[in-house]
Amino acid sequence: MSMEKDTRETTVDTFDNDMSAERAKNVKGTALRLLKKLMEQKWKLLVIVLSIIVSSLFNILSPKVMGIAINDIFDGVKNAVANGQAFQVNLETMGVVLLGLLGLYLLSSLFSYIQQNTMASVSQTLTLTLRREISAKLNRLPLRYFDQHKKGEVLSRATSDLEKVADTLQEGLSQLVTAFFGIVGAFVMMLLISPTLTLIALGTIFVSLIVAALVSGRTHRYFAANQEALGRLNSSIEESFTGNIVIKAFNLEQSTVDNTKVLNENLFRASKKAMFMNYMISPIIRLINQFGYVAVAVGGALSVIRGTISIGDIQAFIQYVNQASEPVTQISYTVNSLQGAIAAAERVFQLLDEEEEIPDAVRPVRIDAPKGNVRFEHVRFGYSDDHILMQDISFDVKAGSKIAIVGPTGAGKTTLVNLLMRFYELQGGRITIDGADISKMTRSHLRSLMGMVLQDTWLFGGSIRDNIAYSKENATDEEVYKAAKAARADHFIRTMPDGYSTVLSDEIASLSQGQRQLLTIARAILADPAILILDEATSSVDTRTELEIQKAMDALMKGRTSFIIAHRLSTIRDADHILVMKDGTIIEQGNHDELMKLGKFYADLYNSQFASKAG
């Protein structure tokens, strides 16, 4: 119980600390960067602005035209009363006015549609561009980034944060521009009708703007915290799904539920604060505007009585006040929403700004006929400069050799082959293949020379054939069948409902762990690499299956350089050379018989395993 409590407290503390950290983010810089991205579609934006101007112009003219109609009716009624005659509407005059009014409304709607449709195109194009940049960025990020960031967090930035930006911009940006031109146009018309009443309306609108500015100034940090909490929850859910079996095996369902509950509550609190700040502004500003309407109505009535303004102009003026004040409410609401989009964009840009892998050489080296000679020369490596794991690693591997790498957990075995595949960059020394420095090769060419089978199998939701052919583009069916037979997988594949066309589900429940491993081995065989890397490739299978795989591997490894990471030392007795690692250093090397005669670390390790099996 105390452990679960500590986990929950840590989660809450982390949330509070991150929330504080979000307050110092660069809102202005993010907004300018987002605007710069939008300006890549400047011609579409120009169409949007022009459409908004035209639509706003027609909207602004409508109250004035309606005022003319009201004045005509009022004058007609007034004259009829004065002459003791019945009032009759001049259909010709009113027909022209009403047709003109209808035309204004239709044209305004047409240009409004144009700007909204174009804005949708801008928003979706921006989303597509950013998503492509994120996709390309993820392929350029070093493995270190994925070691330090949870999958759910990265996924949240590439999906929910990006959608937040797109959805808000699609609605908010056009509303802002529309509101701006609406306010400017309304004020011009108000000044033409009555400067005095305009000052009264301007006073209430000015107060509204001050209130909106005060509220929006506090909104960004709440939206930033909301997006951060959402990303943390997504990460936790992703971990819970992928580790579902382990969670059940250790009876940690309740602990997982409790942790998710805490994250949900954090998201609820952050979302509640953000939504409260977002929605509270509208009723406050509308209340202020109501006082403005009352003041304008009283002032307008007095002006009509004095005969300094017509009744038609008063109704037009009140509509203009609404056209000027309602956009203020809209702007305040939109600005608050844009704060959320900026917070989300900030997280997207943080991902795009992450340090990338060192670029490939301008004039890369190629090995057209690889033999498989590998050499480590005084290699120095650490996951950070102040934490060096390997100080001085040197060894030679001749082409076609079978090299085993053994040692306790954390000794650096997997790190060694990761360096060979250039998943990490060295702090010193160099690694060569057939005399060529791997840092002078492109990563794609380097990795095309190698085939890898990991302890953790990875199969995607496609057919068995597609999963095997993943390592070789345009592989023929015969090549796939041959690789599967070599991996001892052909028999069980043909017993599947659709054979090689059987589609594997996301859970891949129909395959055992050993069968999944056989498919990944078939994939490596199909690649036909010059260098093989087997990282605990048979650790997930039973002894009988392991023997079958070992036969396939022995045939495959003939004539190829092979690096085998193994905990079961009985599987690597026939290795040409064995590297014994401990704490990131090679402490012994030689073949099995030489190391056993040496009687040191390897011999103790081997004897302990043999004694364990005998026991």
User: pLDDT tens for residues 311-337?
Assistant: 777 777 777 777 777 776 677 667 777
pLDDT tens string 259-301: 888 888 888 888 877 777 767 766 777 777 777 777 777 777 7
Under CATH, what is the fold of the domain 8-352? Answer: ABC transporter transmembrane region fold (1.20.1560)
Under CATH, what is the fold of the domain 459-528? Answer: Rossmann fold (3.40.50)
Residue 75 has pLDDT above 80, yes or no: no
pLDDT tens string 7-38: 333 343 443 334 333 333 677 888 888 888 88
pLDDT band at 90 (very low <50, low <70, confident <90, very high): low
What DSSP letter does each residue of 322-333 carry, written as one string? HHHHHHHHHHHH
| b (16+ CB within 10 A) / e for 520-537 | bbbbbbbbebbbbbbbbb
CA-only gyration radius of the chain, Å = 36
Q: H-helix or E-strand containing 351? A: helix 311-352
Which of 497, 469, 463, 501 shows the shortest CA–CA distance to 482? 469
Residue 89 confidence (pLDDT): 56
pLDDT band at 230 (very low <50, low <70, confident <90, very high): confident
pTM for the model: 0.63
E-assigned strand segments in 366-445: 374-384, 387-397, 402-406, 428-433, 436-437
pLDDT band at 379 (very low <50, low <70, confident <90, very high): very high
Residue 17 confidence (pLDDT): 37
Residue 502: DSSP 8-state: P
Residue 105 has pLDDT above 70, yes or no: yes
Asked, colleague to colleague, whether 364-449+531-615 and 459-528 share their fold, the answer is: yes
Domain edges within the chain: 8-352, 364-449+531-615, 459-528
> What string of H, E and C letters represents the secondary structure of 356-368?
CCCCCCCCCCCCC
pLDDT band at 540 (very low <50, low <70, confident <90, very high): low
pLDDT tens string 39-49: 888 898 899 88
Residue 500 has pLDDT above 60, yes or no: yes
Pick among 3.10.20.30, 3.50.40.10, 3.40.50.2300, 3.40.50.300: CATH of 364-449+531-615: 3.40.50.300
Least confident of 141-155, 297-311, 369-383: 297-311
What is d(CA 222, CA 546) in angstroms, rounded to the nearest whole number? 55
For residue 394, is it left (φ>0), alpha (ψ between -120 and 50) or beta?
beta
Residue scoring higher pLDDT (233 or 479): 479
Residue 438 confidence (pLDDT): 93
Percent above pLDDT 70 for the chain: 82
pLDDT band at 375 (very low <50, low <70, confident <90, very high): very high
Residue 94 has pLDDT above 70, yes or no: no
Residue 85 has pLDDT above 70, yes or no: no
pLDDT band at 432 (very low <50, low <70, confident <90, very high): very high
Strand order in the sheet with 387-397: 387-397, 374-384, 428-433, 436-437
pLDDT band at 373 (very low <50, low <70, confident <90, very high): very high
